[in-house]
Structure 1
Amino acid sequence: MILSVMHPFIEFGFMRRALVACIALSLSATPLGIFLLLRRMSLVGDALSHAVLPGAAAGYLISGLSLVAMGTGGVIAGLSVALLSGAVSRCTPLREDASFAGFYLGSLALGVTLVSLRGSSVDLLHVLFGSLLAVDNPSIILVSGIAAGSLLILAVIYRPLVIDAFDPTFLRAQNRWTAPLVHGIFLILVVINLVAGFQVLGTLMCVGLMMLPAAAARFWSIRLPGTLAAAMVLAVVASFSGLMGSFYLSLPAGPAVVLSAAVLFFISILFGPCGGLFRSRGRFSGGKEKA
């Protein structure tokens, strides 16, 4: 049975490359999703995933399906939207979430328009939904490098990032420059990981692997280190099961991975030991019976 499960990854190189790329994203993107949830910025990840589209589309118009050009354009566009949204929210009465919404909707429309100017509907689908099974060695090197760098930087800023998530006033009282610096580095990490995910899962799917395991992990641990570990494990499980489903059921690989993450999210809601619906009912019923 183990051989039948592992057969696609033993037999086919494209399945192995897809799995390696997904595992790298699982280890680097999901911790960022945890901190987005802690900072009540869960929808910002979705906004930034759309914000990278015009930059990637501009790179596509200039160099075709070039990994370097589209990735560089995506980073520039994503960081521009993040900085502009933050500036607008600080200088005007508009809240940051509304500012992000306005910029990302405009970015999404601009990106689709740019791709449509030169490419076909197939090219547009490739940019929006990715091509997970077509991941090549340069893409794996890029994604793995981004994952390793992200984990290293996250380890460096971990303590101030945790303080900023739970008690930002205390962090600002210690040093008024620390909080904006940590926030800026954090947004840069989110954008870079979304660009790495865009190379694999597309702009519309990459945020799913970042946020769904992070949200599901809340039901498996009440401590932050345990939540981070649970999110990574859930993301790896979703990647493996999604690729298996895409191989045996002839499903598109990227959406299958995100759909697997969504299934794990709903399972966590129902059966998670830390607040799952059925576990909560069981404790309540047990307490009532004892009373």
Structure 2
Amino acid sequence: MYDFLIAPFLHYGFMQRALFGSLVLSASCAPVGVFLMLRRMSLTGDAMSHAILPGAALGFLFFGLDILSMTIGGLAVGLLVALGSGAVSRFTVQKEDASMAAFYLISLAVGVLLVSWRGSSVDLMHVLFGSVLALNDEALALIAGIAVITFLALGIFRRALVAECLDPLFLRSVSRIGAPVHFLFLTLVVLNLVGGFQALGTLLSVGLMMLPAAASRFWSNRVGTLCLIAIVIAAVSCVGGLLLSYHASMPSGPAIILTAGIAYALSALAGRRGMLSSLLVFRRHKTA
């Protein structure tokens, strides 16, 4: 048991950095995913994860695999896509989901073309799927900084975020902070996707944000509890995924997201509000 669960993290520095980075990402991304889920914007997170690709690709074109330049590029383009899709949905007849889909598809195509233009298939795979086992000190510092910003923002604006999740129209009618809070929240989403991009790539970074959040919904309906459960599920998924990657020689990012997917399936089946519980309640009512 020691050799299987503990030894890989004690004997190898790259496993220690991967564990630290993924656990910090879990604590930062999972609560943001909960608010995305409560806002019924889960697919928006997926779209935004694709939208940061052109910015990261531009940073790669000019500076190579430099963390700071790719991060700044991804953040800038991600915010631009969020604002652009919001403007289209606000000032035209098109709904936000359609405009977001259009923007992220264009962004994804442009990003893949940019990376392919100057890079190799290895570079493209690194940008799309990341490499949590290759996290260096710069990447860890960036992830930790994003986590600190996220904790501060969620702590200060928690009530406003919850109010906007429950009734955004009411919040905007009684207060002027509705629109700024919405923009702040989109900024947090983009920031955490950029942080997740360092470890999981642009295609999988949203997985650590949404799968634990969706799984937590089967266990509670209180926002604070949902966030804590989502963090625990994300952390366990990261540890399990890294161990699976190490022992089975699998890619680390997909292994983490696959483990989170298994946690989601188990929660949907056996959670306090899952399918088995619903079936038991249905049978009780039927026999009563």
Distance 1:283 1:239 in 2: 33
Question: Aligned-pair distance for 1:148?
Answer: 1.3
Which residue identity is paired with 1:284?
A: F
Distance 2:180 2:282 in 1: 45
TM-score scaled by length of structure 2:
0.98
Q: Deviations over 1:137-182 (max 9, x none)?
A: 111111011111111111111101100110112211222x311000
Q: 3-state SS of the aligned residue for 1:219? A: coil
TM-score scaled by length of structure 1:
0.97
Q: Deviations over 1:211-247 (max 9, x none)?
A: 0000000001121111111100000010000001001
Which residue identity is paired with 2:13?
A: G
Question: Aligned-pair distance for 1:260?
Answer: 0.4
2:117 is matched with: 117
1:280 is matched with: 278
Q: 3-state SS of the aligned residue for 1:205? A: helix
Q: 3-state SS of the aligned residue for 1:204? A: helix
1:249 is matched with: 248
Q: Is 1:108 paired with 2:112?
A: no
Q: Deviations over 1:3-41 (max 9, x none)?
A: 531110001110111111111111111111111111111
Higher mean C-alpha displacement, 279-288 vs 119-128 = 279-288
Distance 1:23 1:249 in 2: 21
5+ residue gaps, structure 1, are: none
Distance 2:22 2:248 in 1: 19
Q: 3-state SS of the aligned residue for 1:203? A: helix
1:230 is matched with: 229
1:151 is matched with: 151
Question: Aligned-pair distance for 1:284?
Answer: 2.9
Which residue identity is paired with 2:224?
A: P
Question: Aligned-pair distance for 1:283?
Answer: 2.9
Which residue identity is paired with 1:227?
A: L
Question: Aligned-pair distance for 1:286?
Answer: 4.0
Distance 1:152 1:67 in 2: 23
Q: How does 1:1-291 map to 2 (within 5 A)?
A: 1-2=1-2, 4-175=4-175, 177-274=176-273, 276-289=274-287, 291=288
Q: Structure 1 residue runs of 4+, over 3 Å off?
A: 286-289
Q: 3-state SS of the aligned residue for 2:203? A: coil
Distance 1:129 1:173 in 2: 42
Question: Aligned-pair distance for 1:249?
Answer: 0.7
Distance 1:282 1:99 in 2: 42
Percent of matched pairs sharing the same residue: 52
Matched residue pairs, number? 288
Distance 2:174 2:198 in 1: 39
Distance 1:279 1:160 in 2: 33
Question: Aligned-pair distance for 1:109?
Answer: 0.2
5+ residue gaps, structure 2, are: none
